[in-house]
Amino acid sequence: MLISPHVFERPAAAVRPFALPALRHPFVSTLLADHRGLLADLLDGLGSPLHVVLPEVFEENVARLRRAFAGAGVTADILFAKKANKADCYVSSAAVLGVGVDVASAPELVGALAGGVPGHRIGISGPEKDDALHALAVQHGCLVAVDSVSELRRLAATARRARRPAQVLLRTRAAGQPGSRFGLSAAERAAAVGLCAELADGIRLRGFSFHLGGYSTSERATAANEMIEHCLDARRRGSPSAELVDIGGGLPVRYVEPQLWDAFLAQNRPAHYHATKSFQDFYPYGGRTADRAVTAIMEHRVDGAESLSAKAGRNGIRFVVEPGRALLDQAGFTLFRVQQVDDRRDTDGYAIVTVAGSSFSLSEQWFNSDYLPDPLLLSAGPDAPAAEAPFPACVAGSTCLESDLLTWRKIGFPRPVRRGDHLAYLNTAGYQMDSNESPFHDAPLPRKVVLRLGDGSGPPGWRLDGI
């Protein structure tokens, strides 16, 4: 029996996808416009997904952050938070630039040392670190953020055996954080400060740190002000070297234009997602930039009068900052090959695009959220013309998990997606590439390829990371 082509109509629930294009660094724009063939060859040769990492952009971000602190009139030691990306090339760049590294495990510490970062520029964070990590930290003169009185005692014993003092920050719960699992309570901090003075042969108290979630500059400045007061108290109690305040990370990255972000939030609803998925929270993709956040923190008025930077300068306080995502802003992107297109527009109003790879390599799902900037559709061959209407589709991984979606949101692609096409997810270096990586189904972990444009006179140079 012949079926009329008009029997299947677009369902009433279909919605027009909202465009949320990702911001692009000029280097990324050049690669996508002028070196598409190279990217296609690398994806074909090294497999999908492929992480492209850009240390030149990382180096620009370091310079920009340094200017922000200098402009605020403060001294700050930058420690790159290695947990944000495992690529060796960023550590190598940090070593050349005189930037430190923040680590939380022995393998991360060894990797930072192997990359050329000296121990005195390495900070070690994390709760209740083991004795092996303590021993390495003492041996190399690393700065250890201690999370409890019991850890302080263990570290002091390790330092005495090594006959060299441990360099210590006391991680302290700021006011309003009674429920945090990290850091010392007020009573524990008082006991730890006294213990540092008592164990001066094994412990050198350098200052204080705190753990703070979110991106509020006023909350971070308020917590930093508390740490300055703790430094002054520690000096009075026999630790004259207490001069550092570690403000942690939490410097934001802008992925999309702020006006578009506000418009997206205003119209966002479950119908825009596969299976009417509902998310409670998103990263602030259209928020302020890291350098402006630094300025806001340092200019924040504390004690009802002077700025945080002025108070720090008056009391001989230096800051430590541990950015991860902020130093990786635009410093990498991820390529996927389209493996299958299930066109459900006649029944569901949108298609399911399946790529070779999984959402484990786009780790926003780890935060129970969705990676919202639109992926770019790249033709494997010559570019196809744009269609009259967007092609609505979500993007799924190739595992057997129902929840394996790289993009739950319905994307309005400029033309129908085809098997063999490539999808580029921009700005994925900060936490997206490997925070949640997994060899599920015995799939190999994605490779990272390092690209450098140099002076732009020739094609980009490339190599596998770690080689």
Reduced 3-state DSSP string for 138-161: HHHCCEEEECCHHHHHHHHHHHHH
The yes-or-no verdict on residue 66 having pLDDT over 90 is yes
The pairing of beta strand 405-413 with beta strand 76-81 = unpaired
Q: Grade residue 364 by pLDDT with cuts at 50, 70 and 90.
A: confident
Please name every residue paired with 265 in a beta bridge, in sequence order, or none if there are none: none
User: Full-prediction pTM beyond 0.85?
Assistant: yes
CA distance 216 to 259: 20
Q: Grade residue 10 by pLDDT with cuts at 50, 70 and 90.
A: very low
Neighbours of 108 (CB within 10 A): 21
Neighbours of 180 (CB within 10 A): 15
Identity of the amino acid at 245:
V
Q: What is the pLDDT of residues 76-107, one digit of tens each?
A: 999 999 999 999 999 999 999 999 999 999 99
CB 22 within 8 A of CB 256: yes
Q: Grade residue 303 by pLDDT with cuts at 50, 70 and 90.
A: confident
What is the rounded average pLDDT of the residues 293-299?
98
Percent of residues in the chain assigned helix, strand, coil, to nearest 5:
35, 20, 45
Q: What is the pLDDT of residues 192-210, one digit of tens each?
A: 999 999 998 899 999 999 9
Please name every residue paired with 168 in a beta bridge, in sequence order, or none if there are none: 144, 205
